Structure 1
């Protein structure tokens, strides 16, 4: 049996493992821009095309390779009915729902109609056809007539992942939000259709995993909690939900299976609901594909959803899923949590941070699973999404699962590009999260606390000190640690590097050992740092272990570090990632002349989608000047102050390799 995977990254590697478990030959679709992807080396064959969205080229390549099955993963063409039909018309089995299923349920608007037909509660909305039929000035009245008042939520009918979505606080902002959401949806999914619905400020987001037999039967595999989100994109998921009692679980399961029966749904799908403050659930949408967060269902319910997909595609019902003709409420065996490790900077507005993976070390241990699409030495490319890996932790109860997740997050090291690992660590330590108090608005409400430093002040001061940075810089060069005085210098040359962080007091002495990536810190200065004051929120799992070991005769602190481009050094310690300046690089650093009048800078690598100004234009502070696409998201670059555009440095379609000046204001 020959299987083609029409996707990339961690999901392609996940499907590859399942295909190998079934004894298949497996080919992966790829593009020249993804030439460094590990899955290309791991697959039996690589079918190269120009784009993951070029369905015709993918089908042609699969035919040439004589494929029997094609798995689309998620994203890209996974919910494209035309692509699914083309695959099946070519005589290749499509591992997913039928084209008819996608047409009925894959679009949010059509799915709302099906849900209403099945008597499932649905949020009121002004649909795309109604938006198009009315002038923008009439939208507010039309929405009010359905009981929908500001704030509104503009949503793409197709696709997901927060793309093509805009929150609109006032009616006057609707036309622009609809236009920009439509453009983003078109760029991401090839479908610019959008609609407007009622916004629930801080609901809980619960979803039901279903699996249909294609004849009206099917099963549901409990719920997943996906309430922890930023920009409508999920950050951390769990199964089962901490708030779903048996009655709610059964009610949502019956509602989800009503859609499966009505459409004779085939294969894996996810029916998503919003839970309001009164505890009532409302149908949100259905994802007619495998979901990013499917691993938590697999670990909580002891199933393999990808193997089940392959079994169904080969003509057999997966025995592990139970009888599709009998309704049953599944019982979870433990709790599973998934954290999405992303190349983004939560402390800088969650901006994407593509870049090299100079150090990449995954955690391991009982109850820990990592699905990743990268390896050390690779890079996160601005042309793709920001996903690096999914870290999944299982425990017999929620407390043990959370503890395992926090410890695994602390052991996860990614250096070279900024990631959300410290942010995830802060979420996992939060008292609200431990108690299950969360909603779709919780992250935004607690953003300042979640982005605060994880390390106590004494630890931060030590690692940022000139003495430590000098020692680390010299260790990278293999020169030992800098040390004052002939005796200390002799010790360094003899392989016993030591450094005094100030004065000659014995308590300030530390020793730095190891390299080139894994280092160990020892000495009295370490004990002094560990004995410093620690606030309750600063005491993470690793720091607690280090404090417990501080009574040892010679406590040791292992950490990972690497050089960055230019004058930077990165250190991963206690779950925090620190970017430090190399004091030895000061003299070699080139001096950059600031742009006359002040530059307008793009915040990250990406591609210029829109240029809305020209030389000589007068702009006001906050005026939109450029639209940048990076990692499948669109970002607006606005004027930092009022002024005259003295120079436009970019053009539409231009690719930026990093933060660059896009215009100069006089």
Structure 2
């Protein structure tokens, strides 16, 4: 077995590999860029080596710099994680030439499966069902339009070397092909250094289901069940689960056997994933093979009990798999929520900055439940614009799907994160969505259920009443504390009133608080009562309460005369007022927001790639105005209405912050 391995990656996956290596008694070496000097993976590793400036193309994906780190560290093997050099044939070949073990598949398998056109041909020859499409490279937009017409709309434009949703567009007509083709080529070139494109039929109402394979390269190839990855945004997975709520055992077996056949056809070794698109009739079609560890691998580990990173290391060291297909059993249900530095209230645009508060739920591994959080950040650290926006992967396991979802709801409710925009509210909303709860999901789920983007969740009145009662009880506790500090209370005599008015979510509810030593009963005007018990103390940012015998977790921040409360995707300002204060509220004038209707504001920190209009030009609704690149993704900003460009304040190459004015309109 290896004595020392180098992790050619960063963030949460580097930390994940370090944990398993440590368990196996293997020393680890981290590499880091200028931006990651104080990163968590650097602190966790036994040693760390600096490899260059912040941009990945000047550090993490420069093969010679990584090789220099390997040589100087004396590492015997390299785990590439995912992204960066994980599916780079040249990197695997250089390692092999220098006698360094690559904890991944052979270079030949990477080459064959890394090119989506070649991989589809091999898959078809191996008897794997494939999606109709054009298997050759596309030279320009005109050829793309011609081919799309032959295949039939809608079509998917895809980068041959792509992954992670980059270099990928769905086109429903000729104009979208023409516009999307060039944008996809640009993204592919920036992310992979390869702008080759191909086109395939886009299957409507699809589910994205993938099979985890594991091969020792010595005659044993197994499949470890499937993962459902249909909750996606811009082809980027957001929530995954294992097993799929859609598959039956016969379909699972057929998909697994085809995945293994493909792995054997390319002489595969190590862990890999074969991705399929599955229609409503359980017909499945090969999409691609990822010749690396997947981001969502934890859910497979949780239902099989198999440490995939450990198996990858053992296989790379020449060991054979110690178990057979019949030994693989799927136990319970696991769900993974990807926590991204993306603001759901601003159309999921990237967010960067310091993590002022980062307090994930406590990890547990008990007989009936598991909570796991794979992360590469810490409180006080920074989210950089240079890398993927993932902050953490929150996973839960339980014996049934319903129980796993409930565990995830609670885990999300207790996850405290401040300082940047993030998608925690959205993840919570999905966990409560009837379609998700029922398992009736497709890759179009987000587009169909949130066509106008994600807004704050509106809790039903019964849930708002529970929050209102909790806020009233908490406010009473805070008032008693203030009275004691100010000296208005002596001999523990309560001088805090019982009559209050709670304003929440458009409701105005007069309440009476009947308190005792164990908690408080909050009585509404219609005589409805809610019993609230909690050990919350003023200043705590997380309140764990029991309301009418059921648990309720609230994120709490103090505001004037009340609290900002977040729960289950809702973000609420809750006012708890004396009746006289409430009466005066009716006379308060609300402050109006400034008028920005004639300004194009930069919606995210990013780089101006292109300006599509000129000063004095008249633009139409939906017309492209400019392109902003952030976190490796290009975003086209369009005109919301007809108008004339009065002034352009930015030029290509400029770096802008959120809400910087790009252009002004008459």
> Which bracket does the TM-score occupy, shorter chain normalised?
0.7 to 0.9
Which residue matches 2:127?
119
Which residue matches 1:10?
12
1:453 correspondence with 2:457: yes
Mapping for residues 299-310 of structure 1, pairs under 5 Å? 299-310=302-313
1:123 CA displacement? 0.8
2:429 counterpart (426, 430, 433): 426
1:186–1:192 contact (8 Å) kept in structure 2: yes
Which residue matches 1:48?
50
Residue 346 and residue 506 in structure 1: after superposition, are their counterparts in 2 closer, same or farther (change >3 A)? closer
1:213 CA displacement? 2.0
Which residue matches 1:655?
655
Which residue matches 1:92?
100
**Unmatched 5+ residue regions in structure 2?**
54-58, 503-507, 531-541, 577-590
Residue 579 and residue 186 in structure 1: after superposition, are their counterparts in 2 closer, same or farther (change >3 A)? farther
Mapping for residues 39-78 of structure 1, pairs under 5 Å? 39-49=41-51, 50=53, 51-78=59-86
Residue 287 and residue 602 in structure 1: after superposition, are their counterparts in 2 closer, same or farther (change >3 A)? same
Which residue matches 2:360?
362
Mapping for residues 358-437 of structure 1, pairs under 5 Å? 358-364=356-362, 365=364, 366=366, 367-437=370-440
1:610–1:627 contact (8 Å) kept in structure 2: yes
Residue 415 and residue 617 in structure 1: after superposition, are their counterparts in 2 closer, same or farther (change >3 A)? same
Separation of aligned partners in 2, 1:527 and 1:358: 37
Residue 220 and residue 182 in structure 1: after superposition, are their counterparts in 2 closer, same or farther (change >3 A)? same
1:166 CA displacement? 0.8
1:490 CA displacement? 2.6
Residue 507 and residue 641 in structure 1: after superposition, are their counterparts in 2 closer, same or farther (change >3 A)? closer
Separation of aligned partners in 1, 2:527 and 2:555: 18
Separation of aligned partners in 2, 1:140 and 1:348: 32
Separation of aligned partners in 2, 1:214 and 1:247: 26
1:560 CA displacement? 3.7
1:415–1:561 contact (8 Å) kept in structure 2: no
1:345 correspondence with 2:343: yes
CA deviation map 1:416-447 (0-9, x unaligned): 22322222222222333233221111232222
Mapping for residues 53-202 of structure 1, pairs under 5 Å? 53-129=61-137, 131-132=138-139, 136-145=141-150, 148-202=151-205
1:34 counterpart (30, 33, 36): 36
1:236 CA displacement? 1.4
Separation of aligned partners in 2, 1:573 and 1:593: 26
Separation of aligned partners in 1, 2:350 and 2:527: 34
Residue 379 and residue 529 in structure 1: after superposition, are their counterparts in 2 closer, same or farther (change >3 A)? farther
Which residue matches 2:533?
none
Residue 159 and residue 579 in structure 1: after superposition, are their counterparts in 2 closer, same or farther (change >3 A)? farther
Which residue matches 1:625?
625
Does the residue aligned with 1:663 lie in a helix, a strand or coil?
A: strand
Residue 495 and residue 591 in structure 1: after superposition, are their counterparts in 2 closer, same or farther (change >3 A)? farther
Over the aligned positions, Cα root-mean-square deviation in angstroms equals 4.2
Separation of aligned partners in 1, 2:35 and 2:225: 38
1:343–1:354 contact (8 Å) kept in structure 2: yes
CA deviation map 1:489-533 (0-9, x unaligned): 8359x9989687559x99657899xxxxxxxx9766698899589
Separation of aligned partners in 2, 1:170 and 1:506: 52
Structure with the bigger percentage of strand: 2
Which residue matches 1:25?
27
Residue 63 and residue 372 in structure 1: after superposition, are their counterparts in 2 closer, same or farther (change >3 A)? same
Mapping for residues 507-586 of structure 1, pairs under 5 Å? 508=511, 546-549=546-549, 559-561=554-556, 571=564, 573-576=566-569, 578=571
1:234 CA displacement? 1.3
Does the residue aligned with 1:221 lie in a helix, a strand or coil?
A: strand
Does the residue aligned with 1:116 lie in a helix, a strand or coil?
A: helix
Does the residue aligned with 2:167 lie in a helix, a strand or coil?
A: coil
1:292 correspondence with 2:295: yes
Residue 228 and residue 194 in structure 1: after superposition, are their counterparts in 2 closer, same or farther (change >3 A)? same
Does the residue aligned with 1:120 lie in a helix, a strand or coil?
A: coil
CA deviation map 1:117-148 (0-9, x unaligned): 1121111112452x22xx64454444454xx2
Which residue matches 1:490?
488
CA deviation map 1:259-287 (0-9, x unaligned): 11111101110001111122211001100
1:214 CA displacement? 2.6
TM-score (norm 1): 0.82
